[in-house]
Structure 1
Amino acid sequence: MRGAVLKSRIPLALFGVLLLAGGLRFYGLGIQSLWVDELASVWFAGPGSVAEVVERTVGDVHPPGYHLVLHLSMTVFGDAEWAVRLPSAVAGWLAVYVVFLLGRELYSTREGLAGALLTAVFFSPVYYAQEARSYSLLLLFSALTALLWWRVFRGFTEGGRPGGWTVLGYVAAATICCYLHYFGLFIVAFQGAAMFWAVGVFRLRSVFGVIVVYVPIGLAYLPWAFVMPGQARDREPGATAPGLYADFLFNSSPAMTLIAALLFFGLFAVSLPALGAVRSVEGFGRFMPGLLLVGWLTVPFGVAWIISEYATPILSARNMIVASPAAYLLLARAIVVLAPNARLQTALAVGVAGLSLYQVVFTDELYSRVHKQQVREAVAFVTDRRENDPLVVHCGVGREANYYYRAQGSDRSEFSQVGACEAERMAAVLSAGAEHGEIILVYAHLRPSEELLRAMSEEYRPVTHRDLYDAGAFLYRNPAGQGTGT
């Protein structure tokens, strides 16, 4: 009777988690301005055919998968701020459910529910679900490929061969993951290496079947493999500080990081003696879920860190969203293993989730404080003065800003414009500004150099400065100009 009651509560609990996740992801999608990278996404995914979207993406540093998704979404829903963020919100919400399925298959429903709850409320999955970039879709497909990977692996090791639909689903999901982001390709490569190793340990004769699984993925990605080298950027080596990875996963919160560290240590302390006592391949198999999650959490980060430190910088904290399901499922597993009964497990999971939710809503003020570059407000400073025919000098935000010029009833082509972030561009500014009574220096993402600002103040009379979040606008008066500025 007790078991039946508990089973009846599982759908209700999952519904509650998904409802919470949806509220956190869909609320306020249009409150904040699109920042420069989001505006770049909109430009790459803009009007035209699918072929034109791919052609534009060749000039980017990412594969075209996300831009194609955004292009389709914009065709249906338009390009309002909420609409261009909608694919990310939907993907972030679905990722919570996929993490539940993955936790349930690796361990049990308890780990699935706890992992889904943590994914629902930690800052990074929520934040990137409200951003028109590829990261939320990358989270979804990282979790989905892991789920299908596990089913393929079990098919090879338990039945000799996985089902055709399972293999087809994994091939499709892995191919999409590769085309979403280069770290999607990275995670699929990790999964491939893990599959060869794991199947080789448990059922060596099935290794050829693994090759059959991964050949279609390689062939599907081959056309873009020829484009990849042209997207590389020559940058000095240097890796992100490892501590930023923990900050990304655990809300940049010392308290949450400490809680996670204690849970991980407790899980390790309990599991290591049992792992050391294993004397057979079958016994070793009981630890495969944990080994998969630990490898998923650590190996991609370690490899990316080494590449960044000694070759070219590819690692940024946000790219490691590919491994966040592993972190949250390991926390869920620690909660279930360390708490002695279901009631305490629930209390601990809800307590950790509640603390994270408090941090997201009140400490980080995700919905009440500006978190994204205020390009919209900077452009409004220009369009409010369009009747004065100003020269617009832009720094860090050029063609992308036309999204907001159009949204505010204007167009970049209506203004004389010149790009300048450094003093070396001052001659171009003087030439373009000779016939204008006002000059507006608009910036976002990048800030004009002090030398340029001094040069502008020497040539023109400073009037006002609108200081915004990682953006702003300087208004200057040109005494020699022939414009209508007043």
Structure 2
Amino acid sequence: MNRIFVHKSWDLLLLLIVIVAFLLRFWRFTDIPFTFDELSAMSRTVYDNFRDLIKYGVIEKDTHPAGVQVFMYYWIRMFGEAEWVVKLPFMLMGLASVWAAYAIAKLWFNATTAILTAACIATLQLFVLYSQIARPYASGLFLTLMMVYFWSRYFLKDYKLTDLVLFILFAALSSYNHHFSLLFAAIVGFSGLWFVSKDKRRAYVFAGIAIFILYI
């Protein structure tokens, strides 16, 4: 009974932190203007087809991986280019990162550490600000956190295939997001070779090959 009460208390604390994170990110969010960085990215979404987007909007005019630029291209075509519309998915990923950070910290350490971690991600100005910018920052945080979460579950939860597949997916998405998240995915992937058991090493190496194939 006492354990159930404590568990619910942690859940309520997490809910409160997520609400605070939501308010900090979405307070008058329809009034938040574009930054020059966002306008630069939007200027590379005006092409008539996907081929021109990649050739002119990514290869010739940008140095980042194509993931965010391709996402913005289709998102703007479907929903328009109002500030709040373009920013919305990145703000949601910034908000979801609060839970992802909590989940990782709880998996690695304990609920107390998880709550403190979530509180930091929810309220620090760095995370709030970059959640409101439609560039690869909030998405990079979210995707790499999810990658680390499923990577951790794979090692700590009996090497489940589902966790390995989701690790592959989020590692590939992280690689397409930004060069830094690509580098981080590579570091995480290679570090797993020191943790994986011998009988699972082949499957883990194949997972790395799958991530590489998805990226190229």
TM-score, normalised with respect to structure 1: 0.42
Q: What's the counterpart of residue 162 of structure 2? A: 165
Cα-to-partner distance string for 1:71-96 (whole Å, 9 max, x where unaligned): 23223331011111112101100111
Alpha-carbon contact 1:144-1:173 (below 8 Å) kept? yes
Match of 2:179 among 157, 182, 207: 182
Shift of 1:119: 0.4
CA offsets per residue over residues 433-478 of structure 1, 9 Å max, x none? xxxxxxxxxxxxxxxxxxxxxxxxxxxxxxxxxxxxxxxxxxxxxx
> How many residues get paired?
214
Equivalences for 1:196-345 in 2 at 5 Å? 196-199=193-196, 203-222=197-216
Give the AA of the match of 1:126: V
The residue type equivalent to 1:39 in the other structure is L
Give the 3-state SS of the residue equivalent to 1:140 in structure 2: helix
Give the unaligned 5+ runs of structure 2: none
2:91 is matched with 89
Partner of 2:25: 25
Secondary structure in structure 2 of the residue aligned to 1:45: coil
Which protein shows a greater Rg? Answer: 1
Distance 1:51 1:109, change over 3 A: farther
Instruction: Give the conservation status (yes or no) of the 8 Å contact 2:32–2:84.
Output: no
Residue identity matched to 1:172: L
SS at match of 2:195: helix
Aligned CA RMSD, in angstroms, stands at 1.8
Q: Secondary structure at the match of 1:44?
A: coil
Partner residue of 2:135 out of 133, 136, 142: 133
Q: CA deviation at 1:68?
A: 2.0
Distance 1:58 1:178, change over 3 A: same
Which one-letter code corresponds to 1:4 in the other structure? I
**Offset at 1:215?**
0.6
**Which position in structure 1 is the counterpart of 2:79?**
77
Q: What is the Cα deviation at residue 116 of structure 1?
A: 0.9
Using CA pairs under 8 Å that are at least 6 residues apart, name the structure with larger relative contact order, 1 or 2: 2
TM-score (norm 2): 0.91
Bigger strand fraction? 1
How far apart, CA to CA, are the structure 2 residues paired with 1:67 and 1:23?
28
Query: Aligned AA for 1:209?
Result: A
In 2, the alpha carbon distance for the partners of 1:11 and 1:33 equals 34
Which residue identity is paired with 1:207? Answer: R
Shift of 1:109: 2.1
Deviation at 1:24, TM superposition (A): 1.1
Residues 38 and 131 of structure 1 are in contact (CA less than 8 Å); yes or no, is this contact kept in structure 2?
A: yes
> Is the 2:67–2:177 Cα contact (8 Å) retained in structure 1?
yes
SS at match of 2:102: helix
Counterpart of 2:58 in structure 1 is 57
The change in CA–CA distance for 1:94 and 1:51 in structure 2 (over 3 A counts) is farther
Percent identity of equivalent pairs = 22
